[in-house]
């Protein structure tokens, strides 16, 4: 699955039509099949907007999205979205949350349940299938959110700061978990984060957005062999390059 964005621009206009916010400017980007791409950039620079456009949830003001060479015209069912905030249904159990996408595909109840249990066990949550989201820790909720996305077998997974609200230990554990999931599934993943360490640990390439309206100003290929050592010299070199870019970008504003 190859994803191409061509000259994407997006400007939001309020209901009165008077007030506009330019969120994205001229984004051109190709993401190859199986690539893990991390996106960093200042708050409000249009990162979530870009994901919403890729998922077909938002129409860009200008520009085009191509998936496997075909232009995206409407919300695309093969995109999985893991949102910035936990987006579990509080009234559904863990299993019912994980089964949600399968219900939309009309998969029979027994089969749904069987598949959900497989994911729940694989995600280290066996025994919690009948619990409700409020009974789970933050890390567990995010594992349910990822399971709920993966079970529908999307071709591309969009992750919007999925680990942003977790403590650093849980976050590191989930990064390792996601890396293992990615290594077995070989999905194409676009992963937004404000965390430099996370971007270097997980991705093949990191791109950096400018301040709003977001445009791509920075790109770094990460060629560190797996398993990645967070304290290695190459890891630190990448970390520093990204930090320098973000610092430059925040100075550019002043
Ligand atoms: N539905 C909307 N209607 C109007 N303006 C919007 C809407 N969604 C986002 N915006 C504006 O567009 C700009 C970019 O927002 P976006 O959510 O894409 O930023 P972001 O890079 O994801 O930020 P953060 O890192 O804080 O999540 C912001 O100024 C925001 O106020
Ligand atoms: Mg965002």
Q: What is the pLDDT of residue 253?
A: 60
Residue 33 banded pLDDT, cuts 50, 70, 90: very high
Claim to verify: residue 12 and residue 125 sit in the same structural domain: no
Claim to verify: residue 64 and residue 161 sit in the same structural domain: yes
Claim to verify: residue 63 and residue 142 sit in the same structural domain: no
DSSP annotation string for 149-177: HHTT--SEEEEESTTTTS-HHHHHHHHHH
Task: Kindly state the tokens that stand for 149.
Answer: 């996305």
Domains: count for the chain:
2
Claim to verify: residue 68 and residue 189 sit in the same structural domain: yes
- Asked if 54 contacts 30 with a C-beta cutoff of 8 angstroms, the reply is no
Task: Kindly state the tokens that stand for 154.
Answer: 């999307």
Claim to verify: residue 63 and residue 164 sit in the same structural domain: yes
Q: How many angstroms is it from 49 CA to the middle of ligand 2? A: 7
User: Which of 12, 39, 57, 160 for mutating ligand 1's site (highest number of atoms within 8 Å of CB)?
Assistant: 12
Claim to verify: residue 92 and residue 71 sit in the same structural domain: no
Task: Kindly state the tokens that stand for 97.
Answer: 């949350």
pLDDT, one tens digit per residue, over 200-241 is: 999 999 999 999 999 999 999 999 999 999 999 999 999 999
Claim to verify: residue 134 and residue 246 sit in the same structural domain: no
Pairwise CA distance, residues 2 & 10, whole Å: 22
Does residue 187 sit within a domain? yes
Q: How many angstroms is it from 25 CA to the middle of ligand 2? A: 16
Q: Which atom of ligand 1 is nearest to the CA of 84?
A: 27
Claim to verify: residue 144 and residue 161 sit in the same structural domain: no
Q: How many angstroms is it from 26 CA to the middle of ligand 1? A: 16
Percent over 70 (pLDDT), the chain: 99
Residues having CB closer than 6 A to ligand 1 are: 12, 21, 23, 43-49, 212
Chain mean pLDDT for the chain: 93
Does residue 216 sit within a domain? yes
Q: What is the pLDDT of residue 38?
A: 98
- Asked if 10 contacts 20 with a C-beta cutoff of 8 angstroms, the reply is no
Q: What is the pLDDT of residue 48?
A: 95
Claim to verify: residue 70 and residue 161 sit in the same structural domain: yes
Q: What is the pLDDT of residue 50?
A: 97
Claim to verify: residue 144 and residue 230 sit in the same structural domain: no
Residue 74 banded pLDDT, cuts 50, 70, 90: confident
Claim to verify: residue 97 and residue 161 sit in the same structural domain: no
Question: Model-level pTM?
Answer: 0.94
Which residue range forms the structural domain that includes residue 54? Answer: 3-78+155-252
Does residue 189 sit within a domain? yes
């Amino acid at each position: 699955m190859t994803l191409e964005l061509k000259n994407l621009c997006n400007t939001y206009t309020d209901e009165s039509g008077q007030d506009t916010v330019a969120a994205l400017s001229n984004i051109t980007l190709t993401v190859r099949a199986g690539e893990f791409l991390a996106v960093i950039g200042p708050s409000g620079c249009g990162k979530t907007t870009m994901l919403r456009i890729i998922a077909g949830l938002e129409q860009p003001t200008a520009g085009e999205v191509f998936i496997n060479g075909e232009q995206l015209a409407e919300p695309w069912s093969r995109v999985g979205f893991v949102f910035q905030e936990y987006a579990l249904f509080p009234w559904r159990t863990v299993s019912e949350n994980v089964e949600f996408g399968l219900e939309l595909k009309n998969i029979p109840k027994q089969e749904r349940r069987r598949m959900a249990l497989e994911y729940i066990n694989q995600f280290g949550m066996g025994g919690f299938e009948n619990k409700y989201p409020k009974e789970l820790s933050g890390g567990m909720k995010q594992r349910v959110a990822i399971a709920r996305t993966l079970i529908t077998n999307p071709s591309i997974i969009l992750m919007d700061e999925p680990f942003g609200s977790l403590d650093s230990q849980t976050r590191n554990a989930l990064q390792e978990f996601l890396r293992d999931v990615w290594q077995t599934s070989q999905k194409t993943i676009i992963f937004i984060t404000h965390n430099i360490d996370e971007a270097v640990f997980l991705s093949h390439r990191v791109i950096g957005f400018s301040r709003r309206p977001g445009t791509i100003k920075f790109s770094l290929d990460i060629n560190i062999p797996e398993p990645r050592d967070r304290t290695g010299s190459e890891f630190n070199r990448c970390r520093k390059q990204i930090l320098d870019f973000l610092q430059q970008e925040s100075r550019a504003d002043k």
